[in-house]
């Protein structure tokens, strides 16, 4: 079974505050996205890795690879104007049209090998595999006038990546226009009328978005 992973890191990540995009920020001595690529390769060495970056960053990325002696095989693909377009560009670069593909945020370096491998197994059997984790905090729904109502957190899940699919189906799903409610790949897939399959994620698999996230990531690295 052909397997690929599209690592999406096409944004600027301005919420980190600073001029350097978050995917290139150092974590335990090397850029965050390098850790992410290594996690997939270590979990499934046969996986075909595609890294989606802004085209203007290609030279900088190659310099980072040289300076960190990063030789893990991967294909660079230029991102688009939205996450939807960046993922689509990555899918168009796949060297096969049958198999499995995992779509993963470049700034989620703490996905577990168990989640990666399970996502491929479940997607092969059911068409898709979307990792989720339960909510820990109480949840309230806020209305337009500021009123709020209790929501039972047992009925909700937080969605993570990798979101893994059968390639043929996902290619078909992305042959549509980008729509405002396409917040992730699962919503694009679901738009076709196909049911998604949820799997258990891992709580450490956070998306590094703020300086506080990066501080926590450094703690996770030293705790291992």
pLDDT in tens, 153-165: 999 999 999 999 9
Taking the C-alpha atoms of residue 77 and residue 6, their distance in angstroms, rounded to an integer, is: 9
Counted domains in the chain: 1
pLDDT grade for 18, boundaries at 50, 70 and 90: low
Residue pair 78/89 in contact (Cβ under 8 Å)? The answer is yes
What does the alpha-carbon distance between residue 92 and residue 86 come to, in Å, rounded to a whole number? 10
pLDDT for 222 equals 84
183 lies in which domain range? 3-222
Mean pLDDT over each residue of the chain, to the nearest integer: 94
Q: State the pLDDT confidence band at 20, using cuts at 50, 70 and 90.
A: confident
For residue 79, pLDDT over 80 is answered with yes
pTM score: 0.94
pLDDT at 14 over 60: no
DSSP string covering 48-82, please? EEEEEE-GGGHHHHHHHHHHTT-----EEEE--SS
CA 222 – CA 220 distance, rounded (Å): 6
Q: Using one digit for the tens of pLDDT, what is the confidence trace for 179-198?
A: 999 999 999 999 999 999 99
Q: Helix axis angle, 32-43 relative to 113-126, nearest 10°?
A: 60
Q: Which of 77, 85, 63 is nearest to 7 (CA)?
A: 77
Residue 28: CATH number of its domain: 3.90.550.10
Q: How confident is the model at residue 12 (pLDDT cuts 50, 70, 90)?
A: low
Residue 124 burial by Cβ neighbours in a 10 Å radius (0-12, 13-18, 19+): middle
Compute the average pLDDT of residues 110-137.
97
* pLDDT over 90 at 99, yes or no: yes
Q: Which of 4, 66, 83 is nearest to 37 (CA)?
A: 4
């Amino acid at each position: 079974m052909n397997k690929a992973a599209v690592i999406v890191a096409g944004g600027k990540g301005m919420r980190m505050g600073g001029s350097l995009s978050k995917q290139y920020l150092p974590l335990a001595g090397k850029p965050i996205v390098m850790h992410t690529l290594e996690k997939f390769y270590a979990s499934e060495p046969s996986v075909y890795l595609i890294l989606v970056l802004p085209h203007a960053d290609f030279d900088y990325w190659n310099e980072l690879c040289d300076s960190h002696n990063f030789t893990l095989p991967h294909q660079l693909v230029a991102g688009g104007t939205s996450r939807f377009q960046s993922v689509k560009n990555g899918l168009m670069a796949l060297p096969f049209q049958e198999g499995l593909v995992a779509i993963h945020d470049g700034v989620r370096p703490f996905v577990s090998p168990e989640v990666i491998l399970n996502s491929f197994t479940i997607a092969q059997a059911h068409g898709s595999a979307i990792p989720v984790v339960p909510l820990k905090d109480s949840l309230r729904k806020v209305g337009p006038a500021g009123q709020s109502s209790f929501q039972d957190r047992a009925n909700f899940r937080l969605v993570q990546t990798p979101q893994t699919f059968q390639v043929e189906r996902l290619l078909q799903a992305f042959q549509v226009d980008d729509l405002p409610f396409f917040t992730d790949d699962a919503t694009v897939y679901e738009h076709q009328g196909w049911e998604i399959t949820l799997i258990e994620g891992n709580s450490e698999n956070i998306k590094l978005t703020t300086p506080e996230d990066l501080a926590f990531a450094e703690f996770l690295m030293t705790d291992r």
